[in-house]
Amino acid sequence: MSEKGRPLPKFGEWDVNDPASAEGFTVIFNKARDEKKTGGKPDSPSKADGNRKEGEEPLKPQTDMKIYVPEEIIVEILIRLPVQSLLRFKCVSKSWKILVTSDYLKTKHCNHAKNNKKFLVARKVDSISYYCSSLSSAQPLQKLSRCPSTYVILCCCDGLVLLFGDGYLLWNPSTNESIQLPNLELRQGTHREALHSTYGLGYDSVSNDYKILKIDNNEGDGDDLRSRNKILALKSGSWRKIDKHPRIFGSSVLHRQFSTHMRREDSLAFICGSFHWIGKDNLNKYFMVLFNISNEVYGEMSLPDGICNISNMVYITRGVSVIEGMLYAYSTCINAEGSTFKLWVMKEYGVKESWTGLFTIQERDIYLNIMPKYMFADGEMLFMYVNNVFSHGFRTSKGPFELFPSYARFLQGFVYSESLISPKLLV
């Protein structure tokens, strides 16, 4: 069966890294192809040969054409792929590894991934387990493997998650890469003060650095209270004390009437380079506090009137969130008739008159808190709630959200986007 002067290559001789070693196989493949065309008669001339004029050169087999794809097209394709696929592509070649790990691709991929948000859920049975789901396609939760098991979620930004357990941990759930952050010297004990604080993680474009802001929620007085807030710039490697807003009185974040218990489902709202939260002055007037992470200067912004003037209620919670690049304010009120949840959106950032009420949910069931988390393409909003028996769950304005089950014990839920950003390269 072998062509004269071309012995059959032995099985296993074809080295994929050495194209020359495949020449023997090429002969076989070509011979089999020719025999198929001629009905098993290898020596019979092909149709093309029969039409060839005397003295004319035989037709040469057409060689494979190389296709050149511009790098900008390749980048546009890659930024649309999941992180796990991109990590595998690093093994294709040295040039692909350089491209996939470049800051340029990481930034473009991170920005595009924000169009396809995911939901990260932490749930505790014996240890804490993490689950995720795509929100754009409304998929059931899938359990993540080999994740930190003793940490709670504090906040998220650009696919990075700040955790707290045995100290602070910065974790990328898409790559499962993490790094331990500097600890704080906490007067009341690490866990108590850390979990009675509210955190925000944001990117400072001026210094090209990620910063973490810790706002203390414990009651206190005098200078001791004013100096408890702290900030960590990841590149600096150390926490610094900062004063509270000069008009803040008492507990400073996400006020709930008749309760000082701080919920771990909340984080500071980050938009336009500043963290936002609700503060209260010594006259019991509520306002929105701003903290610019570049110049570290406080500011103020007005809240909608409906969130400030609430009376005749047994229990009240207030908060602010950022959803799809818009600032939202919300309140949950409880009286003898049940629970009332109200949601407002600031349509033009910084303009008080642009606060617009979106909707009100009234329920006979008692909800201690309802927090907006995500807006679907049809305008429906996903909420996380805590009821009067401290059961956690998810719902929309129409009712329960069945894809994410409720849970009687520990439950957290945060929106995030996939990212190639390595926590280890940020410190």
76-101 pLDDT, tens digit per residue, is 999 999 999 999 989 888 988 999 99
Contacts of residue 402, Cβ cutoff 8 Å, sequence gap at least 6: none
Query: Do the Cβ atoms of 308 and 285 come closer than 8 Å?
Result: yes
Rounded Cα gap, residues 265 and 134, in angstroms: 19
DSSP-derived pairing of the beta strands 326-335 and 315-323: antiparallel
Architecture of domain 130-425: 6 Propeller (2.120)
Rounded Cα gap, residues 342 and 85, in angstroms: 41
pLDDT tens, 298-354?
Answer: 999 999 988 887 766 667 888 999 999 999 999 988 887 888 899 999 999 999 999
User: Of the candidates 395, 260, 380, which has an alpha carbon nearest to the alpha carbon of residue 317?
Assistant: 260
Phi-psi region for residue 192, left (φ > 0), alpha (ψ -120 to 50) or beta?
A: alpha
> Can you tell me the mean pLDDT for 41-67?
56
pLDDT tens, 142-192?
Answer: 899 888 888 999 999 999 999 998 889 999 999 999 999 998 865 555 566
19 or 114, greater pLDDT = 114
Q: Which long-range contacts (CB under 8 A, 24 or more apart) does 126-134 make?
A: 128/152, 128/410, 130/173, 132/173, 133/403, 133/404
Binned at pLDDT 50, 70 and 90, residue 141 comes out as confident
pLDDT at residue 261, as a whole number: 36
State how far Cα 59 lies from the chain centre. Answer: 58
Rounded Cα gap, residues 125 and 373, in angstroms: 23
pLDDT at residue 256, as a whole number: 46
410 pLDDT above the threshold of 60: yes
Among 7-21, 143-157, 315-329, 395-409, whose mean pLDDT is lowest?
7-21
Rounded Cα gap, residues 91 and 66, in angstroms: 22
pLDDT tens, 361-391?
Answer: 888 877 778 899 999 888 899 998 887 666 7
| This prediction's pTM | 0.79
Delimit the domains of the chain by residue range. Answer: 1-54, 65-115, 130-425
Above pLDDT 70, what percent of the chain? 73
